[in-house]
Amino acid sequence: MNLKEQITEDMKNAMRAKDAERLGTIRLLLSALKQKEVDERIELDDVAVVAIVDKLIKQRKDSIAAFEQAARQDLADKEKAEMAVLVGYLPARMSAEEVTAAVQSIVADLGAKGPGDMGKVMGAVKAQLAGKADMGQVSAAVKAALAG
């Protein structure tokens, strides 16, 4: 069963359980997946689904920060609940040490030196670590590797 089928099955289970919050979040995710499929006329694989889930989580993090800054804890809590459901669809993330080791290996393979090679390194890193690591953490590791 691929990830998209799993999400659809989870939606059915949430309907049966009458879990309105979870159901709403899963429907939002399925809507985003369907939109991508229709726009690009493709069938999404697990890697593309994970990328969309990552994007939705990033949106939730941004919203949480904005709501907390505006002292709207009720809305921030709703976004946190949605984010918790979405995180369940991500594969296990790499630890900071694993990310640093992978980045250093890629930098060595490419022979990259200095901040001017950031784009080249990030392209290679994204290809290898997409969906496996938080890209903010990866970017910081690349900057550190190129600076040192």
**Which phi and psi angles does 113 have, rounded to 5°?**
-140, 130
Residues 6+ apart with CB under 8 A from 94: 102, 129, 132, 133
Residue reference for tokens 């040192």: 148
What is the spatial distance between Cα 103 and Cα 145, in angstroms, rounded to a whole number?
7
For the stretch 60-109, pLDDT in tens is 999 999 999 999 999 999 999 999 999 999 888 887 888 888 888 888 88
Q: Which pTM does this prediction carry?
A: 0.75
Name all domains of the chain by residue range, CATH numbers in brackets: 3-87 (1.10.1510.10), 96-147 (1.10.10.410)
For the stretch 117-147, pLDDT in tens is 778 878 888 877 777 777 778 888 888 887 7
**Which phi and psi angles does 93 have, rounded to 5°?**
-85, 150
